[in-house]
């Protein structure tokens, strides 16, 4: 039987996002698998290089891409499957697209359909879960629209960020006069830091209908924890593929012992609530008397300023929680080839990982991983401690066959270091750097260096 003789990896610098190309080389042919291709923020150094990256992928796989893995529907993982770069990828005639079960068209519920139908093997709660994902992206859209309605940043200081807590100076106390920037006429409400985070997260969570449609137009394999991934395996003879996530709702239920909660209902209301201000807000009480900004009584101004800021934190919190849910739909793949184990978990966070990690068998399977694609760009909750502590190949620089880690990330976009939620999380980066051979896309500095090639494995006899 055929089996690969070597494995190579190309890590592309996409800014904030993921893009990895795997080559399984056999004696007479090569097989190429592209894992994610997306960006939300093009790297300032490189500009938008998605087209160049697509061309590089085309050259590298010599005109034929065997499979695409789209771990989850976040923009920073699939935006390359739309627009100009898609034309290039499509011409590589990808034979298979691997997607999480949540993308299965039969699990979707359209707006007119009765919501209490099971369909084609998807029970009602699974379908509701899928619909709630759709709603979350609608919430993200409403948040982005709300931001666009904000006046532009005029460089004056506004109310502090969400990490501010209770600490404030005397002049911020109730009853103190407004600063120039807070006078009602200025009309700017969110601090620049808050705006930046809201915008970044909001945009990453926007639905990317074109990319999804493009991917679904190809032969697809939808997977969940425990799937055999038969089609992918067929394309990769001699490679063992394990799907370790995402779990199904039933699997999740097994371990959570939580009463089932209907997320569709919650997000439905959140969607309606966030969408409303754009449209019908002024008609909450059609006949009621309203005071203009100039007529705000002085005794209300401190509070109005605080409430405007509070509104911003609320939006940020909403976007954070939906971002997390979407990350947790990530496909987690473990490849075994050439006596090496390669782990690609997309943006899976703890809630996704939990089902796999509570099983002894899986923990054992993961212990001797050789290559780890760092989850969710190095965020604080996407490399579970249980997983990391279980890796036996990590260790000091001299360790033979030391763990290799790959991190695609961009600093200062996601989270805040004052809250210790920065991405990548410095504590994790430190562990990766000292305990493994870490490659970060941030180390590619020049414009033309948007990719780096690695030899991951080779059969010793060759």
Nearer CB in complex with Zn ion: 135/394: 135
- 298, containing H or E segment: helix 298-327
Binding-site partner at residue 361 among Zn ion, another protein, none, CB < 5 to 8 Å by type: none
Closer residue to another protein (CB): 44 or 284: 284
Neighbours of 134 (CB within 10 A): 18
Report in angstroms the alpha-carbon separations of 155 from 22, 158, 181, 188, 273.
Answer: 45, 9, 9, 10, 30
Which parts of 161-245 fold into alpha helices (H)?
192-204, 209-216, 230-235
Pick between residue 297 and residue 400 the one whose CB is nearest to another protein. 297
CA distances from 404 to 40, 288, 348, 397, 401 (A): 26, 64, 19, 11, 9
Please state the closest distance from residue 124 (CB atom) to another protein, in A: 17
Could you give the dihedral angle defined by the CA atoms of residues 177, 180, 186 and 192, in that order, rounded to the nearest 10 degrees?
A: -100
Pick 324 or 404: Cβ nearer another protein:
324
285 contacts which partner out of Zn ion, another protein, none, CB within 5 to 8 A by kind? another protein
Site for Zn ion in 184-243 (CB under 5 A): none
* Binding-site partner at residue 74 among Zn ion, another protein, none, CB < 5 to 8 Å by type: Zn ion
Angle, CA of 240, 256 and 241, to the nearest 5°: 5
Distance CA 88, CA 250 (A): 39
Q: What DSSP assignment string belongs to 58-122?
A: HHHTTT---EEE-----HHHHGGGSHHHHHHHHTT----EEEEGGG-GGG---TTS-TT--BTTB
Residue 273 interacts with, from Zn ion, another protein, none (CB under 5-8 Å by kind): another protein
Q: How far is the CB of 142 from another protein (least distance, A)?
A: 10
Window 316-375: residues binding Zn ion (CB under 5 A): 327, 347
H or E element that contains 402: none
Q: Smallest gap, in angstroms, from Cβ of residue 146 to another protein?
A: 8
Which residues in the 47-106 window bind Zn ion by CB under 5 A?
A: 74, 76
CB of 216 to another protein, least distance (A): 29
- Closest approach, Cβ 15 to another protein, in A, equals 23
Q: By C-beta, is 228 or 306 nearer to another protein?
A: 306
Complex with Zn ion: residue 41 or 74, whichever CB lies closer: 74
The residue ranges that bind Zn ion (CB under 5 A) are 74, 76, 327, 347
């Amino acid at each position: 039987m055929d089996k690969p003789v070597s494995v190579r990896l190309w890590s592309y610098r996409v800014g904030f996002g993921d893009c990895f190309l795997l080559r399984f080389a056999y004696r007479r042919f090569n097989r190429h698998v592209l894992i994610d291709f997306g960006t939300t923020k093009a790297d300032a150094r490189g500009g938008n290089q998605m087209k160049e990256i697509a061309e590089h992928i085309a050259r590298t796989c010599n005109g034929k891409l065997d499979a695409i893995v789209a771990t989850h529907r976040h923009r920073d993982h699939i935006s390359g499957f739309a627009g100009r770069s898609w034309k290039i990828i499509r011409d590589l005639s990808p034979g298979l697209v691997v997607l999480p079960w949540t993308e299965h068209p039969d699990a979707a519920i359209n707006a007119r359909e009765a919501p209490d139908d099971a369909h084609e093997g998807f029970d009602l709660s699974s379908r509701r879960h899928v619909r709630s994902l759709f709603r979350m992206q609608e919430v993200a859209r409403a948040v982005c629209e709300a931001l666009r309605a904000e006046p532009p940043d005029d460089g004056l200081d506004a109310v502090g960020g969400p990490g501010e807590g209770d600490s404030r100076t005397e002049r911020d106390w109730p009853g103190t006069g407004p600063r120039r920037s807070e006078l009602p006429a200025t009309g700017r409400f969110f601090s620049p830091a808050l705006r930046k985070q809201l915008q970044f997260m909001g945009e990453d969570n926007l639905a990317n209908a074109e990319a999804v449609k493009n991917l679904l137009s190809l032969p697809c394999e939808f997977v969940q924890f425990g799937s055999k991934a038969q089609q992918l395996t067929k394309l990769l003879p001699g490679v063992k593929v394990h799907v370790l996530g995402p779990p199904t709702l039933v699997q999740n239920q097994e371990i959570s012992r939580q009463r089932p909660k209907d997320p569709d209902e919650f997000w439905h209301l959140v969607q309606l609530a966030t969408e409303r201000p754009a449209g019908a807000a002024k008609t909450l009480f059609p006949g009621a008397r309203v005071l203009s900004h100039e007529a705000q009584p002085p005794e209300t101004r401190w509070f109005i300023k605080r409430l405007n800021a509070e509104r911003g934190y609320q939006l940020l919190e909403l976007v954070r929680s939906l971002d997390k849910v979407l990350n947790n739909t990530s496909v987690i793949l473990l490849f075994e080839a050439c006596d090496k184990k390669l782990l690609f978990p997309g943006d899976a966070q703890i809630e996704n990982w939990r089902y796999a990690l509570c099983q002894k068998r899986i923990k054992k399977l993961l212990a001797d991983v050789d290559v780890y694609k760092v989850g969710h760009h190095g965020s604080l909750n996407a490399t579970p401690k249980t997983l990391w502590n279980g890796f036996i190949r990590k260790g000091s620089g001299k360790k033979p066959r030391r763990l290799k880690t790959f991190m695609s990330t961009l600093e200062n976009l996601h989270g805040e270091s004052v809250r210790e939620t920065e991405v990548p999380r410095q504590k994790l980066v430190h562990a990766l750097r000292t305990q493994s051979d870490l490659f970060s896309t941030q180390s590619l500095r020049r414009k033309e260096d948007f990719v780096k090639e690695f030899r991951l494995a080779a059969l010793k006899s060759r």
